[in-house]
A and B are shown apart, each in its own frame.
Chain A
């Protein structure tokens, strides 16, 4: 059986590029902001104290469970005081549309808010970013130096040996310079389960055609009932599972299995090794 890719490399690249786009200073949203140097607001903004105060209350009620009442991270939402999006926002021009549309992919619901409430929340989040910038550290954060307890040589041996990492990755190939792209907690999270974007190796749906040939396409999403892939033109196509013969090849499965194999020592060692790949 011969595998044919129905998506040309060029088109595949094109369709994934918008999500990757590391250029232009815009940092990828999946990285934990906590491990990054604190971004600074690009446009200084001042808000009346009453508006900040009102925003604090509205924010705590609507957003606090996920993002923390202080906006510095909570049960499931990231630390907004280190958010690039907040840093580049000017009076809600970026926060507003995001809050009203939500981020369904990452579990953030859309919020219907009137302008007064939204503006107050924007004021509060900007104010918190300024406040935290002067704290230098603070609670609920993990700094790169907290993580520097592993042994890079042992990590390298594990990477190339027992860990099996080198079966898919290479220090001079895909991981060259990885420690320059990710630091601290973001590097550790990326190492454990690189689930966000850019996806280093997107899962593929492998269809078996009636002829016996197989055809692979990048997977967008699947469940028990349907499989959605990108066709050669970059458009989404959804197939009913019971109408096709399809298998999902997900390189993330190896990362998930590896989570059960790490000890805390080997985890910190591999992190220390990756942190040398600047």
Chain B
């Protein structure tokens, strides 16, 4: 233990020196202790901090160090990026650079008013000394990190056609990977790679055929948007991204078949955008269950064999473990209340029960549209082998009749009720190790775990909570307003900071 800490300390210090001013893309694979360089903190999407200063024993002494209030309505739904002593936080149309030690504002960018959807924003990205922001009206803007000077501004999709963006880009090498959203129009799913230096488009991956294409693989479906941040394996040189639901959303009759590659985990070559493999977690979805949840990368034993795994707790209520070298299923198991599948097929995919497709008189379906989980990122704890997920057991009613048509939503559905938990899933079995109730309705807070055995997240009222990772018991809480983002942690000048958003404020906690 002691030796491990020492090695980590040396490693962290060397990282701190190498990364004082900028975020060299090479560092993204091994982020230093004084930074949080990507949405997930690390390429593997584990959202796990190796910092050891905050422990189950001392977490009760945490104190608020600073608070930054945006002064605007929207809640903070973004995960901060931290590099070179600066912290970058976003809301739709807004990017702030703060001093990571004090929370004081260094600069603020406000995008011109626009009429795209403003539902939330997940965060910025950094490459060397450039910070990137997507906007609701589908611009990608590059800023000089130190003073916010705009370097370039490009359009990544046509917001007039129904696209918008809330995406925190993923930077791999000199590729800035940006996704968009668009559920209310029948538009193809697209992920773009933008040159980090110039803003030029390098490639586009379409999860459903682009407009005008003769491909029929999707069975006529559009959609499959990639609106959350993917993960990356440098050894395989593969990016893993979850794709969204097909459109029209609730009317499955006009898009027969599996509707590839909607509701899927896809593995892409970041240099070309070519699909290496895809795995569909919800073939022929008719319930708006995007598979955008984080594809978490773990190198670990599975059934006695060392493997490169990718795992996802998906909105449809099933937990998937795949071999990420080839996309083959190793485990599929429900982690929340589900009633829509008849079983699991030979490839590890749930078999949708046609009786649970939306009908004119309504069907009662679990989970509901909000899903068994959703945008809020989970965290993987290596020591216990637990994936901690903000989960919901819920029911909804789903309707479709011909009068609802075949455009956009094309149906009606209503959440009936739901109960939420922080739920620890053992990746080896898919079994739930513990549940920690957080309230009614769907949760909104992501999860952070630490090497010291802490799980940090939020409940459905107004508290940030710290649990013991091994058993889910409560260790600490603070009333900060409803948490709608995922916590991050970094260490500066020997002090470990915990950063969480509550309402429209960002809070920094540390030991006194």
A245 to chain B, nearest CB (A): 18
| Partner of B73 from A109, A185, A192, A268 at Cβ < 8 Å | A109
Say yes or no: B463 contacts A223, CB within 8 Å: yes
A147-B361, A260-B366, A264-B355 known; A111+B414 contact, CB < 8 A: no
Does A142 lie at the interface of the complex (its beta carbon under 8 Å from any beta carbon of B)? yes
A180 to chain B, nearest CB (A): 21
Say yes or no: A34 contacts B412, CB within 8 Å: yes
Give the distance in Å from the alpha carbon of A192 to the alpha carbon of B415 in the complex: 11
Query: In the assembled complex, which residues on chain B have CB atoms less than 8 Å from the CB atom of A260?
Result: 337, 339, 366, 395
A65-B119, A256-B419, A260-B337 known; A73+B412 contact, CB < 8 A: yes
Select the stretch in B78-86, B269-277, B398-406 that faces chain A. B398-406
Give the distance in Å from the alpha carbon of A256 to the alpha carbon of B440 in the complex: 11
Select the stretch in A7-15, A54-62, A155-163, A208-216 that faces chain B. A54-62
Give the distance in Å from the alpha carbon of A195 to the alpha carbon of B417 in the complex: 8
A189-B416, A264-B355 known; A61+B437 contact, CB < 8 A: no
Query: In the assembled complex, which residues on chain B have CB atoms less than 8 Å from the CB atom of A267?
Result: 362, 364
Does A262 lie at the interface of the complex (its beta carbon under 8 Å from any beta carbon of B)? yes
Say yes or no: B337 contacts A139, CB within 8 Å: no
Does B474 lie at the interface of the complex (its beta carbon under 8 Å from any beta carbon of A)? yes
A57-B115, A149-B361 known; A140+B73 contact, CB < 8 A: no
Beta-carbon nearest neighbor of B439 in chain A:
A223
Q: Which of B20-49 contact A (CB under 8 A)?
A: none
Q: Which of B333-373 contact A (CB under 8 A)?
A: 337, 339, 355, 359-364, 366, 369
Beta-carbon nearest neighbor of B440 in chain A:
A195
Give the distance in Å from the alpha carbon of A142 to the alpha carbon of B250 in the complex: 14
Say yes or no: B417 contacts A188, CB within 8 Å: no
A140-B412, A223-B459 known; A259+B117 contact, CB < 8 A: no
B387 to chain A, nearest CB (A): 22
Query: In the assembled complex, which residues on chain B have CB atoms less than 8 Å from the CB atom of A27?
Result: none
Query: In the assembled complex, which residues on chain B have CB atoms less than 8 Å from the CB atom of A189?
Result: 397, 414, 416
Does A164 lie at the interface of the complex (its beta carbon under 8 Å from any beta carbon of B)? no
Give the distance in Å from the alpha carbon of A140 to the alpha carbon of B412 in the complex: 5
Interface string of A159-189 (1 = CB under 8 A from B): 0000000000000000000000000010011
| Partner of A112 from B73, B364, B411 at Cβ < 8 Å | B73
Give the distance in Å from the alpha carbon of A142 to the alpha carbon of B419 in the complex: 26
Does A251 lie at the interface of the complex (its beta carbon under 8 Å from any beta carbon of B)? no
Query: In the assembled complex, which residues on chain B have CB atoms less than 8 Å from the CB atom of A185?
Result: 414
Give the distance in Å from the alpha carbon of A60 to the alpha carbon of B414 in the complex: 21
Say yes or no: B405 contacts A139, CB within 8 Å: yes
Say yes or no: B459 contacts A146, CB within 8 Å: no
Does B409 lie at the interface of the complex (its beta carbon under 8 Å from any beta carbon of A)? yes
Say yes or no: B362 contacts A188, CB within 8 Å: yes
5 contacts between A and B (CB under 8 A): A109-B74, A110-B73, A146-B361, A150-B361, A264-B362
Closest 5 CB pairs of A and B: A193-B417, A57-B115, A65-B119, A149-B361, A61-B115
Query: Which residues on A are within 8 Å of B, measured CB to CB?
Result: 32, 34, 57-58, 60-62, 64-66, 68-69, 73, 75-76, 107, 109-112, 137, 139-142, 146-150, 185, 188-189, 192-193, 195, 221, 223-225, 252, 255-256, 259-260, 262, 264, 267-268
